[in-house]
Structure 1
């Protein structure tokens, strides 16, 4: 077995989540039109990404505190989602894979009108600029997802806890 990058990660309790408040009819974007819909918010984005499996440990990104609601920004009106994530160690060699998993999960779950930005939390990684550059490059992301081994790793991480099939279809962005 390969040596673990972080052999003793801190495990956090999974939070119970309920919508912060019910969405009222006045808050529904496009009320009175054919495009009535509930706006996408931070909680919805967090619910999509919290159960992504860590590629190294049998825990979710939420349990390892790699993702949190505080590092998500959503602008539903402009169709933008920004997620910052924090690896468990500053030299994590899985950071790019984790970022790729976050991007793929959101691209699969969100309407195509959304632009998704995934980056490391500032100061959280020794190769922050290089990882962020890779995650922002659409051509590199597309090329990575054409690699069957890498796509298999991403799909495995996206299965969720105990092998749930939460977005494990082989879909490219």
Structure 2
């Protein structure tokens, strides 16, 4: 990775409290629906590519920016880069997308986008992240896949 950090002193935020577990959650006879909190819990601990911090700690991902329709099989995640010219935004979006692709049943259509107005090239990056062929091609690059896997190595 490059020795020069783009955002030398990022603002840190408190982590969301753990989701309380109820008796219903432990009952295997009840089918659980996938909700926004479950998706948030999957991505909140992803590592930032530049800092030894999670995407949640940097407020790159927030539960309020996750939409899920279990019935329709749709998951939408909007993320916010820490700075408007962040060169890591595509990598962060790719890491979120890969985590969800690896974690969710294939019936889900996954959309990962930059929050509107938070990045200088959000439209171009959103177009890349929405293109299945470009995502697949990116993951065939061994170096890029290694960096994505480092982001997915959950330490949070």
TM-score of the aligned structures, taking structure 1 as reference length? 0.83
Q: Which residue of 2 aligns with 1:85?
A: 79
Which secondary structure does the structure 2 equivalent of 1:161 belong to? Answer: coil
* Unpaired segments ≥5 residues, structure 1: 25-30, 163-173
Q: Does 1:44 align with 2:45?
A: no
Which secondary structure does the structure 2 equivalent of 1:47 belong to? Answer: helix
Superposed displacement of residue 23, structure 1: 5.0
Q: Which residue of 1 aligns with 2:3?
A: 2
State the alpha-carbon separation in 2 of the partners of residues 127 and 151 from structure 1: 23
State the alpha-carbon separation in 2 of the partners of residues 18 and 45 from structure 1: 12
Query: Does the 8 Å CA contact 1:19/1:43 hold for their aligned counterparts?
Result: no
| Count of residues in Structure 1 that have an aligned counterpart in Structure 2 | 153
Superposed displacement of residue 161, structure 1: 1.3
* Unpaired segments ≥5 residues, structure 2: none
Query: Does the 8 Å CA contact 1:107/1:116 hold for their aligned counterparts?
Result: yes
Q: Which residue of 2 aligns with 1:170?
A: none
Superposed displacement of residue 112, structure 1: 0.8
Residue from 93, 103, 109 that aligns with 1:99: 93
Q: Which residue of 1 aligns with 2:131?
A: 137
Higher relative contact order (CA 8 A, sep 6+): 2
Which secondary structure does the structure 2 equivalent of 1:81 belong to? Answer: strand
Runs of 4+ in 1 over 4 A off after TM superposition: 19-24
Larger gyration radius, structure 1 or structure 2:
1
Superposed displacement of residue 22, structure 1: 6.6
RMSD over aligned Cα atoms: 1.9
State the alpha-carbon separation in 2 of the partners of residues 116 and 37 from structure 1: 21
Q: Which residue of 2 aligns with 1:160?
A: 154
Residue from 51, 62, 70 that aligns with 1:68: 62
TM-score of the aligned structures, taking structure 2 as reference length? 0.92
Which secondary structure does the structure 1 equivalent of 2:129 belong to? Answer: helix
Residue from 52, 56, 76 that aligns with 1:58: 52
Which secondary structure does the structure 1 equivalent of 2:6 belong to? Answer: coil
